[in-house]
């Protein structure tokens, strides 16, 4: 299946960031194709929080409501597919998909998110987004006053511990090996009665994703209600890098304050290009990218 249709913009990723950009572009009568593979990063989470008007709603319900709202605009098209490669053409770009389609566009917007790499700790993946969480703003209130573990070391662990200490008075940092804190950091953690456990974790014992207790390699066990973790991640799509887009040191797509990547005509928004990982930020950056793309197309055509 090949398409001769030339879109003004192809958006890769039809979750919160991509749909937010599509809304701005659809309302400007731009011809846009959204390609989405249906793998939102929060798909295992029962409730999303900290997003105004939708606090506590299921993440899938928010995405579906957004999709229905956005696809009312007649110049927007959607396909369920995976974009597998992309290259530059004389007038823009061509994107190929897993189902064998090929689509052309003048501009590209990557709203493709990031892929969390689950550590090889039994129970971790099953609890991810349910009781093993990434962010106190999204899930901290629900676990307030519960015994809480922070699975991290160094500055990341210190930062999370400082935020979580306002939500629970029983906080332990699990460093999975030698703790890496300065003397001052240790003093401040001690002052807050935050325990540091260096013993390696053997398993997160859970029931349907809800942590019951943690078991350690030395045979010890400890009960916790919640675990914070910051797993390693990779870009969900490797097309931007193949096109020449630069990454930042932590692995995000490098964008300027207008969501433009380092390759002309290629934009990025949402989790793939920003450290502030929230639906609100994905919607914000998508909205900005949509407006900037429309402005760029206008300047080229007007
Ligand atoms: C477990 C968990 C729980 C969270 N809970 C909350 C919460 O309660 N509140 C909150 O505000 N935030 C929460 N977040 C953060 C929030 O989910 C993300 O910030 C947000 O989903 C980012 O939106 P996005 O559109 O950038 O990426 P995503 O929502 O991850 O969507 C990316 C989309 O791109 C598609 N895609 C990727 N590559 C391709 C390709 N090559 N071709 C086609 N499609 C592609 C994917 O299938 C997916 O649909 C949570 C995150 C996680 C991981």
Give one DSSP letter per residue of 166-187, joined into a string: TT-S-EEEE-SSS----HHHHH
* Tens place of pLDDT per residue across the chain (302 aa): 555 578 999 999 999 999 999 999 999 999 999 999 999 999 999 999 999 999 999 999 999 999 999 999 999 999 999 999 999 999 999 999 999 999 999 999 999 999 999 999 999 999 999 999 999 999 999 999 999 999 999 999 999 999 999 999 999 999 999 999 999 999 999 999 999 999 999 999 999 999 999 999 999 999 999 999 999 999 999 999 999 999 999 999 999 999 999 999 999 999 999 989 999 999 999 999 999 999 999 999 99
Residue 24 belongs to what H/E stretch?
helix 16-26
Residue 68 belongs to what H/E stretch?
helix 59-70
CA distance 107 to 95: 11
Q: What is the pTM of this model?
A: 0.96
pLDDT score recorded for residue 5? 73
Query: Of the candidates 209, 168, 207, 160, which has an alpha carbon nearest to the alpha carbon of residue 46?
Result: 209
Mutation test residue for ligand 1: of 66, 112, 117, 285, the one with most atoms within 8 Å of CB: 112
Residues with CB under 6 Å of ligand 1 are 12-18, 35-42, 45, 48-51, 82-83, 111-113, 116, 128-129, 134, 138, 236-237, 270-271, 277-280, 282
pLDDT score recorded for residue 4? 58
CA distance 165 to 174: 15
Mutation test residue for ligand 1: of 19, 234, 277, the one with most atoms within 8 Å of CB: 277
44 Cα nearest atom in ligand 1: 1
């Amino acid at each position: 299946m090949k398409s001769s249709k030339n879109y003004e913009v192809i958006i890769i990723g039809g979750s919160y960031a991509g749909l937010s950009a599509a809304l701005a572009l659809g309302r400007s009568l731009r011809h846009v194709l959204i390609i989405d593979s249906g793998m939102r990063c929060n798909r295992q989470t029962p409730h999303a929080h900290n997003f105004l008007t939708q606090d506590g709603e299921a993440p899938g319900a928010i995405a579906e409501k957004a999709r229905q709202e956005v696809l009312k605009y007649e110049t927007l098209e959607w396909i369920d597919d995976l974009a597998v490669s992309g290259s530059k053409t004389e007038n823009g770009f061509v994107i190929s998909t897993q189902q064998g389609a090929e689509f052309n566009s003048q501009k590209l917007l990557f709203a493709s998110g990031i892929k969390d790499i689950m550590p090889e700790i039994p129970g971790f993946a099953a609890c991810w987004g349910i009781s093993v969480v990434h962010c106190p703003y999204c899930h901290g209130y629900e676990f307030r006053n519960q015994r809480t573990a922070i699975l991290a070391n160094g500055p990341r662990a210190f930062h999370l511990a400082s935020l979580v200490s306002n939500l629970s008075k029983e906080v332990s940092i699990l460093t999975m090996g030698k703790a890496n804190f300065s003397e001052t950091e240790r003093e401040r953690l001690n002052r807050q009665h935050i325990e540091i456990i260096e013993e390696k974790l053997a398993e997160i014992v859970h029931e349907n994703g809800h942590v019951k207790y943690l078991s350690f390699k030395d045979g010890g066990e400890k009960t916790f209600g919640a675990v914070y973790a910051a797993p390693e991640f990779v870009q969900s799509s490797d097309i931007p890098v193949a096109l020449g887009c630069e990454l930042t040191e932590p692995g995000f797509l490098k964008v300027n304050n207008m969501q433009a990547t380092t390759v002309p005509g290629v934009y990025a928004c949402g989790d793939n290009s920003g450290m502030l990982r929230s639906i609100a930020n994905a919607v914000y950056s998508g909205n900005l990218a949509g407006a900037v793309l429309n402005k760029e197309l206008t300047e080229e055509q007007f």
